[in-house]
Amino acid sequence: MSLGRRQIVVTGAGGFIGGHLIVDLLRRGHAVRAVDLKPLEDWYQVHGEADNLSLDLRLADACGQAVAEASEVYNLAADMGGMGFIESNKALCMLSVLINTHMLQASVAAGVERFFFSSSACVYAQDKQSSADVTALKESDAYPATPEDGYGWEKLFSERMCRHFQEDFGLHTRVARYHNVYGPHGTWAGGREKAPAAICRKVAEAVLSGNHEIEIWGDGEQTRSFTYIDDAIYGTTALMDSDLEAPVNLGSSELVTINQLVDIVEEIAGVELHRRYNLDAPKGVRGRNSDNSLLRERLGWEPSISLHEGLEKTYSWIHAQASARARAGVALPG
């Protein structure tokens, strides 16, 4: 397949990863159709050079409209959020299967050459994530299947659909299992934000209000790795252009506790906060990290942007958003 200028569709375009992906694709000279359920004024980034459409991709006809005359599709659309959201909205998360089913069918009908599906580390078996001192998860650890209930099951099922659409219909599919992608221009308040954005917001709120305390979900000793958006975008496009057909981890292997995550943000903000631990709050698995052996073997690369470097940029952006809301007298959504 020619890797020159392509007609590319990005779904979930009004969201965090989608917005950054479109920046990269436009920079490289591709024609981009950007599609999201939300009206344009609610997108995190809107790019005038793209063909921007508001469509409900749970509907088959909308998917046909989205992929018409496209050569590639990056399917990032999903109803999702951080742990607080996905633990309380399992049915909504599962309904994203409508998007993936109809997008795959429409792509085959339209003659799309390559189809990218954004999966998640939530597909991994929960019994392999029960210790904070976790062994990094390799791709085969998704089976026998006991993924995150709701969201994880939907992602794992959609991975299988991608595999079988490739086998049965010849649609070249690529699947990345994202590990906690974070950065600016994404959800940072309101209940759908993930841990890095939530911590950055809470620290910014403490700095702006002078109330130097922070609530942490769990005991703070649960472990995670966090992937900065620039690494996620590079890995996504590199995977799409590769011959790697199996699902692959796309995540940093820099493992930290949530307490260490807070330490870094406090250092960046120049503040030390009193910590209140909410042991009843949603906290997910005890430990999760990415084994990047397959990524290094097949792409010759793995995420390398340090957590400190990524959080500096993320905190700066979120502090600016929180400060602007405070100046306008707008209450921050919790």
Q: 296-304: long-range contacts at Cβ-Cβ below 8 A with a sequence spacing of 24 or more?
A: 298/242, 298/244, 298/248, 299/235, 299/238, 299/239, 299/242, 299/244, 301/234, 301/235, 301/238, 302/253, 303/227, 303/228, 303/231, 303/232, 303/235, 303/250, 303/251, 303/252, 303/253, 304/231
pLDDT (tens digit per residue) in 95-152 = 999 999 999 999 999 999 999 999 999 999 999 999 999 999 999 999 999 999 999 9
CATH annotation of 7-179+228-250? 3.40.50.720
Whether the CB-CB separation of 174 and 116 falls below 8 Å is answered with yes
Q: What is the pLDDT of residue 2?
A: 40
Cα–Cα distance measured from residue 123 to residue 153, given in angstroms and rounded to the nearest whole number? 7
pLDDT (tens digit per residue) in 137-170 = 999 999 999 999 999 999 999 999 999 999 999 9
pLDDT of 332 > 70? The answer is no
Which CATH homologous superfamily contains domain 182-224+254-327?
A: UDP-galactose 4-epimerase, domain 1 (3.90.25.10)
Percent of the chain clearing pLDDT 90 (strictly above): 89
Q: Which of 44, 74, 151, 315 is catalytic?
A: 151
Q: What is the pLDDT of residue 328?
A: 84
Sequence spans of domains, the chain: 7-179+228-250, 182-224+254-327
Does the annotation mark 315 as catalytic?
Answer: no
pLDDT (tens digit per residue) in 260-314 = 999 999 999 999 999 999 999 988 899 999 999 999 999 999 999 999 999 999 9
pLDDT (tens digit per residue) in 181-220 = 999 999 999 888 999 999 999 999 999 999 999 999 999 9
Number of Cβ atoms within 10 Å of the Cβ of 35: 30
pLDDT (tens digit per residue) in 6-55 = 799 999 999 999 999 999 999 999 999 999 999 999 999 999 999 999 99
Per-residue confidence band for 330, with pLDDT thresholds at 50, 70 and 90: confident
The phi and psi torsions of 12 (rounded to 5 degrees) equal 70, 30
